[in-house]
């Protein structure tokens, strides 16, 4: 099922271009993994709810070719940097539409422009870097994604306060999960849960996505007891949210259903979780989404109690 990207964190901190702005509204689901999707992310969910304001002109979103041509000196330095924000926001837009190749191109251009303008450690540069790596990850180019996500993770560990380290860590853990390095994924996620617990006074409502990912990795490693403990904790956290049944809640529900099924629990302990997950995915992702279809398939194999 999938998991995330922390696409929320790819929104530029410096909105320098007037109308070219981007806002997020994500309740407590703000710590994604860029985010990453659950079913393709192995059960993730879209990274929060993104709201993009259209740029003032289509040309400002027209992407790589224009920027590359103008980078050679036709525009002033300050004017060139103004293209990075709409490119970054276009990357967010394409990522949430699962158009990962387009997202990677846009994030990559924004990253290169901001890196040249502000340096590698600026917050906008690092946000675009994370989006670039996550888009490559979701597109299946693990070899290209890994050095970018490692770089984003290492800089976050050095430069960010604990709460802001959550998303880069989760995204790198997702890469390890996708490439079946489950021991490395578990170590990263356990460290992240511990870090976020300390930063948030143990309030799991502030980091339910990290807990969900840890639960999923533990299930994949065969630790059903540990997985169930993590997933039940995060489901309780999701249930206290103002908008509880989003894609990430669905990921948690599906993973908990799989754990209960593996523990040979009765159908009435499994099927309601999948039914709730499917309803959330159909409402938020659509009936034709890959995650929705995967949950529908799981539900079809669970008998109806009579």
Could you report the per-residue pLDDT of 224-261, keeping only the tens digit for each?
999 999 999 999 999 988 777 899 999 999 999 999 99
- Domains in the chain with CATH codes: 7-300 (1.25.40.10)
User: According to DSSP H, which parts of the chain are helical?
Assistant: 64-70, 77-81, 84-96, 100-118, 123-138, 142-159, 166-178, 182-199, 208-220, 224-239, 247-262, 271-284, 290-300
* pLDDT averages per 10-residue partition of the chain, 306 residues: 49 36 36 36 35 39 48 55 88 92 96 92 94 96 98 95 92 97 98 94 90 97 97 93 86 97 95 96 92 95 81
């Amino acid at each position: 099922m999938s998991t995330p990207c922390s696409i929320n964190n790819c929104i530029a901190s410096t909105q320098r271009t007037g109308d070219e702005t981007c806002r997020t509204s994500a309740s407590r689901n703000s710590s994604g993994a860029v985010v990453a999707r659950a079913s393709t992310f192995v059960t993730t969910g879209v990274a929060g709810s993104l709201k993009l304001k259209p740029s003032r002109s289509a040309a400002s979103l027209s992407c790589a070719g224009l920027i590359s041509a103008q980078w050679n000196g036709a525009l002033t330095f300050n004017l060139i940097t103004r293209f990075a924000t709409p490119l970054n926001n276009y990357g967010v837009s394409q990522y949430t539409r699962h158009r990962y190749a387009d997202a990677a191109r846009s994030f990559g251009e924004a990253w290169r422009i901001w890196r040249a303008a502000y340096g590698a450690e600026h917050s906008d540069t690092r946000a675009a870097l994370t989006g670039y790596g996550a888009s490559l990850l979701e597109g299946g180019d693990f070899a290209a994604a890994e050095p970018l996500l490692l770089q984003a993770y290492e800089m976050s560990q050095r430069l960010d306060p604990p709460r802001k380290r959550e998303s880069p860590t989760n995204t790198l853990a997702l890469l390890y999960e996708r490439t079946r390095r489950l021991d490395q994924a578990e170590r990263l996620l356990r460290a992240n849960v511990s870090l976020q617990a300390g930063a948030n006074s143990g309030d799991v409502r502030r980091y339910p996505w990290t807990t969900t990912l840890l639960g999923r990795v533990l299930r994949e490693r065969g630790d059903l007891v540990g997985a169930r403990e993590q997933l039940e904790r995060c489901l309780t956290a999701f249930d206290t949210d103002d908008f509880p049944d989003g894609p990430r809640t669905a990921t948690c529900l599906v993973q908990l259903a799989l754990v209960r099924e593996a523990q040979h629990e009765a159908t009435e302990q499994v099927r309601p979780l999948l039914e709730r997950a499917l309803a959330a995915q159909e409402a938020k992702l659509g009936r034709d989404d890959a995650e929705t279809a995967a949950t529908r398939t799981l539900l079809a194999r669970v008998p109806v109690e009579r």
